[in-house]
Each structure stands twice: as structure tokens, then as C-alpha cells.
């Protein structure tokens, strides 16, 4: 067994594998984890995990502006991957809308206007 460690933000992650290729593959995921927030550029980011309604959500979250980047999980093998295509998402407001703490919306996730002005 080959072991190594990689620094991700303020965390040190231990990785191990049977081969050098396996070790590089294991470390590769962690090496892709962002070290700065994509919204406010803060380096105050950490991992999160939550399970609302039995669904598991994991990823990294900014401790300053609360923006998040989510991870996904492969159906085969169960390995995690970073959802780069979704980018950093604004925190959810109590009303269910995504809002930015900075007044800008860098991801195009403007709050939804639920007022349809339909008279019924």
C-alpha cells in the first residue's frame, strides 16, 4: 500500500492506493478542490455534508459569503467528482431563493419572482 497526503485549504487529506497510478488518481480529486471561493475569493473554505429529506449533499463552502460548490458521486465505484459545470452557487435564503451576500450574481442565479400577477 502506498500512502500520501495532500493539503486542501486548511485540511490535510490522507490518500492511499495499491499502485502509483492509483495514488495519483486518488490525490487528483483533492487536487482539483478549490482553495478559494469562486464568489468572494476568500480562502476561508471548508467541506460540508448535509442530508435534507434523506438526500446527501457534499461539497465545499465559503465561510465568509456562504457560496457553495457541490460534489457529485459516480454511480459505479462511488467516487466523488466536482461539479465544475454548476459552478459556485449562492446560499439559499429562507424563502427558498438563492441570494448573494454581495449584491451581485456571478452565477446567474437571480432570485425567482414567484409573483405571477395572475388574478385568480
For 53-112, write each residue's pLDDT tens digit.
Answer: 888 889 999 999 999 999 998 888 788 899 999 999 998 766 556 554 443 444 444 344
Q: Given this model, what pLDDT does residue 6 score?
A: 87
Asked if residue 86 is part of any domain, the answer here is: yes
Mean pLDDT across 2-6: 92
Asked if residue 13 is part of any domain, the answer here is: yes
- Give yes or no: residues 51 and 25 share one domain: no
Range of the domain at 17: 1-32
User: How many domains is the chain partitioned into structurally?
Assistant: 2
% of residues, the chain, pLDDT over 90: 40
Q: Which of 35, 26, 40, 41 is nearest to 7 (CA)?
A: 35
- Give yes or no: residues 97 and 40 share one domain: yes
The more confident residue out of 95 and 52 is 52
Q: Is the pLDDT of residue 41 over 90?
A: yes
Question: What does the DSSP assignment read for 40-55?
Answer: T--S-EEEEEE-GGG-
- Give yes or no: residues 63 and 92 share one domain: yes
Q: Given this model, what pLDDT does residue 112 score?
A: 41
- Give yes or no: residues 25 and 68 share one domain: no
Asked if residue 20 is part of any domain, the answer here is: yes
Asked if residue 114 is part of any domain, the answer here is: no
Asked if residue 116 is part of any domain, the answer here is: no
What's the chain's Rg over C-alpha atoms? 18
% of residues, the chain, pLDDT over 70: 76
- Give yes or no: residues 11 and 69 share one domain: no
Asked if residue 115 is part of any domain, the answer here is: no
Q: Residue 108: is it exposed, middle or buried by C-beta count within 10 angstroms (0-12/13-18/19+)?
A: exposed
Please answer whether residues 8 and 34 qualify as being in contact, where contact means their C-beta atoms are separated by less than 8 angstroms: no
Q: Given this model, what pLDDT does residue 99 score?
A: 54
pTM of the model: 0.68
Asked if residue 73 is part of any domain, the answer here is: yes
Amino acid at each position: 500500500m502506498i500512502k500520501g497526503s495532500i493539503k486542501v485549504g486548511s485540511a490535510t487529506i490522507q490518500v492511499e492506493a495499491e499502485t502509483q497510478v492509483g495514488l495519483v488518481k486518488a490525490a487528483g480529486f483533492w487536487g482539483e478542490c478549490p482553495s478559494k471561493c469562486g464568489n468572494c475569493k476568500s480562502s476561508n473554505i471548508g467541506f460540508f455534508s448535509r442530508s435534507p429529506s434523506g438526500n446527501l449533499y457534499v461539497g465545499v463552502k465559503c465561510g465568509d459569503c456562504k457560496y457553495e460548490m457541490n460534489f457529485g458521486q459516480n454511480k459505479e465505484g462511488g467516487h466523488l467528482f466536482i461539479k465544475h459545470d454548476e459552478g459556485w452557487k449562492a446560499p439559499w435564503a429562507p424563502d427558498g431563493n438563492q441570494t448573494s451576500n454581495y449584491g451581485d450574481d456571478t452565477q446567474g442565479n437571480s432570485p425567482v419572482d414567484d409573483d405571477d400577477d395572475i388574478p385568480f
